[in-house]
Amino acid sequence: MLIRTEATDIGLVRPVNEDSYICLDSAVYVVADGMGGHAAGEVASALLTQTAKEILEGLGPNDITEALLRQVVLEANRRILAKAEGDNIYNGMGTTASLLCLKEQQAVWAHVGDSRIYLLHEGKLQQITKDHSLVWDLVENGSITPEEAQQHPKRNLLTRAVGVDEDLLVDTGAFPIVAGDKFLLCSDGLTNMVSDASIKNIIESIPAGDTAKLLIDQALAAGGIDNITAILIEKRDA
């Protein structure tokens, strides 16, 4: 049995919420954080979630593979590029994409950008996805610390996004899951404002039904400089 809570908020600074998310009956969860002016980011992220719904709705969790999730992202990439080509107002738009499918004993995922998927397993919070961003590259090569990355002035500069290039590399993966595991999908409006330690504390200590809103409240209290989206799922015994 899966217990889910989700929430999104425009934040305290941005004029438009360019985040988009979807939760499907096939136990697929998607978060997309759009980028681009004139509401184009909102268009790109909506195209990503609409594509996921169109391709995946009605399937069972066992029908969904890493390859199929990759196909969703690549099809969204094609549609976003086509829309931008047809109207100059959409030039430069793009979106992140984090997709997670929870099966009985396994999770599969696909990812582009700097939205994140986390797993909380036996008291340990693990970031499953890798940020496709300049500062993440700097952390990985040892130039800056993760704490410095959170305050870096170029922390929002992506090295990979959906809808920017025809040749898009999509990260995918799979990992085992058990009852008691919790999963978080979120946009960087959360992770740029709230530390992993605080996220872990909230996820562990708050009942699942309240968690997403409390995570967003924490980001708002820290300044809410970006749109914020969170989906929290807990796997329980049936």
What pLDDT sits at residue 193? 94
What domain count does the chain have?
A: 1
At position 175, the amino acid (one-letter code) is F
Q: How far apart are alpha carbons 22 and 184 in whole angstroms?
A: 13
Domain that holds residue 38: 2-235
The per-residue pLDDT for range 115-133, each reduced to its tens digit, is 999 999 999 999 999 999 8
- The answer to whether 125 and 105 are in contact (CB under 8 A) is no
Q: Is the pLDDT score of 145 beyond 90?
A: no
pTM summary value: 0.94
Q: Which of 131, 118, 137, 122 has its CA nearest to residue 196?
A: 118
What pLDDT sits at residue 148? 64
At position 125, the amino acid (one-letter code) is L
Q: For residue 13, what is the domain's CATH number?
A: 3.60.40.10
> In percent, how much of the chain has pLDDT > 90?
80
| Sign of the dihedral through C-alpha 125, 17, 50, 45 | negative
Q: Is the pLDDT score of 24 beyond 80?
A: yes
Strand pairing class (124-127; 116-121): antiparallel
The per-residue pLDDT for range 74-106, each reduced to its tens digit, is 999 999 999 998 888 898 899 999 999 999 999
Q: How far apart are alpha carbons 55 and 45 in whole angstroms?
A: 16
Separation in Å, CA 165 to CA 76, 133, 135, 148: 12, 16, 21, 29
Q: How far apart are alpha carbons 18 and 176 in whole angstroms?
A: 32
For the stretch 142-145, contacts whose Cβ atoms lie closer than 8 Å and that sit 24 or more positions apart, written own/partner, are: none
Secondary structure of the chain: what % helix, strand, coil (to 5)?
Answer: 35, 30, 35
The per-residue pLDDT for range 151-204, each reduced to its tens digit, is 666 667 899 999 999 999 999 999 999 999 999 999 999 999 999 999 999 999
Residue recorded with tokens 């992220």 = 45
Q: How confident is the model at residue 150 (pLDDT cuts 50, 70, 90)?
A: low
